[in-house]
Amino acid sequence: MRVVFLSDTHLGIDLPVRPRVQRRPRGEDFFDNLDRVLDHAVETRADLVLHGGDLFFRSKVPPSIVDRVYQRLTRFADGGIPLGVIAGNHERSALPTSLLLRHQNIHVFHQPSTHVFSLAGRKLAVTGVPFTGDQGLFLAAAHDAPVLEVEHHLLLAHEAFEGATVGPNDFTFRKRRDTVPLAALPERFDAVLSGHIHRRQVLWRAREDGTRMPIVFAGSIERTSFAEAGEEKGFAVVELGERRRLRFVDLPTRPLVDWRERIEGAPHDRAGDDLGP
């Protein structure tokens, strides 16, 4: 099974509906990269696409942006590849409602729940947990996931996990209420796919049998701030089978340049040099 995993698309950011100044907004870059991810899924015949939250850039989004996003998702779903998505913190744990989300190939995890996808005669369970920002709530939902007779079981999240790093100074999430301890995660999942952390990375949770469970952050599909200026952006492809593989796919991003004018001193008038008669 091939699963394409993306997150933190932040669609609608820097894309004013009624711009007051004439400039090239960066918002179209985010839409273009979403299209590239979906095109990749079609071209490589992916079995499933999962989105790890922060589909939109905030909870209250202009209706025109909501329709534009959902129309893209439904056009993709018309091709037959199922899509699963959870809400992130920017959506305040709930996606904007729309009749378009009733598409048979789109599954939104409105609350912590498990959905079984039938993919070419094989079954893949996904437990999706919308953003909680609370390790206790998240872990309770993860441990409540049912044990199913399926070939693979993934946990889809939008949380900070212990050991994740962000920013130019490599801030590391440690013991905080909004940070999930790796050792507290249930062992039975094949992998945890999480949004929220914009830097791509993989953490590992050791199991009692000596194997390890990956916690995969695909990262954002575009740079959302100067703190991400040096980071590569893209998405992840997870292969599930006898051998499990993970690879990151790069997406084109617009460079962020900190353009500063340094003034050494203030201009001043003086008499000037005598050039002679």
State pLDDT tens for residues 97-146: 999 999 999 999 999 999 999 998 899 999 999 999 999 999 999 999 99
Which whole number is the average pLDDT over 32-50?
A: 98
Q: Which parts of 131-254 are beta strand (E)?
A: 152-158, 160-161, 165-166, 171-172, 179-180, 191-195, 201-206, 212-217, 234-239, 245-250
Task: Pick left, alpha or beta for residue 41 (phi over 0 → left; psi -120 to 50 → alpha; otherwise beta).
Answer: alpha
Band (pLDDT 50/70/90 cuts) for residue 179 is very high
The fraction of the chain above a pLDDT of 70, given in percent, is: 90
* Whole-structure pTM value: 0.91
Residue 67: which of 56, 58, 78 has the closest Cα? 56
Q: Which two tokens stand for residue 257?
A: 């340049």
- Taking the C-alpha atoms of residue 218 and residue 233, their distance in angstroms, rounded to an integer, is 8
* Contact residues for 37 (Cβ-Cβ < 8 A; gap 6+): 4, 6, 49, 221, 235, 251
Q: Please tell me which residue, 158 or 263, carries the higher pLDDT value.
A: 158
- Taking the C-alpha atoms of residue 23 and residue 170, their distance in angstroms, rounded to an integer, is 33
Band (pLDDT 50/70/90 cuts) for residue 255 is confident
Which whole number is the average pLDDT over 243-250?
A: 95
Whether residue 24 is predicted with pLDDT greater than 90 in this model: the reply is: no
Contact 152, 110 (CB under 8 A): no
- Taking the C-alpha atoms of residue 104 and residue 188, their distance in angstroms, rounded to an integer, is 28
Q: Which two tokens stand for residue 54?
A: 């922060």
Q: 102 φ, ψ to 5°?
A: -85, 5
Whether residue 260 is predicted with pLDDT greater than 70 in this model: the reply is: no
Domains of the chain with bracketed CATH: 2-16+25-250 (3.60.21.10)
Which whole number is the average pLDDT over 197-219?
A: 97
pLDDT of residue 47: 98
The fraction of the chain above a pLDDT of 90, given in percent, is: 82
pLDDT of residue 20: 65
Amino acid letter, residue 266: A
